[in-house]
Amino acid sequence: MSARPEDGTGGRREQTEAVARLRGWTGIPSPEVGRLGHDVGVTYVVTVTMAPAKGAPELDPLQREGVIFLLRKGFDSLEAVEGPDGMEIELMDDVIAAHPGGALLKLFVDAPALEFAEDAAREVVAELLERTEPLADWQITRCAVELNSALLQESLDAADGPDAPPADPAERARRHAAAEPAPAHGRLDRAEVEAMRTRLRTLAPALRAFPLDTFGYREDEDEAEAEPTVPREAAEIAAGALVFAIDLLVDELFTDLAGLEEDGPTVAESDATFMLLDDLPQQYADEYTVLFARRLTVTAVTLTARLTQPRFTGPHCVAEELLLRVLLTQAEVTADLYDLLTDEVTTAFETFTETLEEDPARDPLDDAPPGVENWFTPYDAESPVHPYATNDDEDSLQGR
């Protein structure tokens, strides 16, 4: 089984079905997770965890961003995987995250059978690690498929032989209750999930601009009866995920800026893979210059700083609206990667998005003048934007 490099430069986007609604403005389709295809197979979700050599120190934030960048670059160079007898196993999509102890991947693999999907994912990741020098000593610690529960039940119901489940649903339920619980395949270790749950809840108070009621939590019983509510924990996880995503957003912009300075002059003309700039509307890719990336980074820093202040007055310009949507997506993906995106947490994110925007489906670019330089124009006199971002004197910004 071997990986085949992609001929073009276009890459897949880090997304899941759960967060596609927040990324509608990018025009990126969501993967068809759990789809049953009788001709080409099933789209399986394969979770792969990996770690550096035993005894290696924990990864600091910059190293984690570097790991994500290297893995993203490797996956974006692949188009498909060849299975037995030349069978093509397609990589539909992928999600990448890093933590102090290693990295976590979710690969959406279109394959005719579970075993092929699992083997393909393992071989592709092993090959990428081997040919990526800084990750050459890393090891795959787990590789397992997550089956869509409906498809799994369908397969069980159709099974033949002595191990097939009984037709009577009550008897199936009795046997299930009496059976020893099996470990869930493709899931993070419980300790990792609980550690992240605690971390996000601890971070939640830092989002001072938005109390928990903006996520749907109602402490007052009278208010709770009048409006839909979410549990306090779900609201704290959503709020903490937004704080956690601030570091990701800013670090990715700094990484993109360094990549563009080395391999510019624009995103459209570069062969590099960008962590955030590639997720901006690509019809403007030829205007994403080094200066634009610098302005966007400064804007991201000022925007996210306001989120931790007592009062948030909303986005001050188009660039802030776009960045805020990216931040929301990253927060929800973070919760999903750590198996914390429950129905309650999803509701908390939806409630927050509705609080933040009257029409979440509205494209911020619809009312903006053409040209990315106008993305940094303040909406009004009460909505200041950092002077560096609004400076039209390119020579002075370039230090000349």
Q: What mean pLDDT is predicted for residues 2-7?
A: 42
pLDDT of residue 217: 92
State the pLDDT confidence band at 360, using cuts at 50, 70 and 90: low
Q: What is the mean pLDDT of residues 379-400?
A: 71
Q: Any bridge partners for residue 134, and if so which? A: none
Cβ density class 63-99: b for 16+ within 10 Å, e for less: ebbbbbbbbbbbbbbbebbebeeeeebbbbbbbbbbb
Q: Which 3 state secondary structure label does DSSP give 75?
A: helix
Quick check: 156 pLDDT over 70? no
| This prediction's pTM | 0.58
Q: Give mean pLDDT, residues 125-138.
A: 88
**pLDDT over threshold 80, residue 222:** no
Q: What are phi and psi of 90, to 5 degrees?
A: -95, 135
- Kindly indicate the confidence band of residue 266, based on its pLDDT and cuts at 50, 70 and 90: very high
- Could you tell me if 99 and 64 are in contact, meaning their C-beta atoms sit under 8 angstroms apart? yes
User: 28-52, pLDDT tens digit by residue?
Assistant: 223 333 333 333 456 777 888 888 9
> Alpha-carbon torsion 383, 385, 387, 389, what sign?
negative
Contacts of 391 (CB under 8 A, 6+ apart): 397
> Is residue 91 pLDDT above 80, yes or no?
no
pLDDT in tens, 286-312: 999 999 999 999 999 999 999 998 888
Q: What are 2's strand-pairing partners?
A: 82
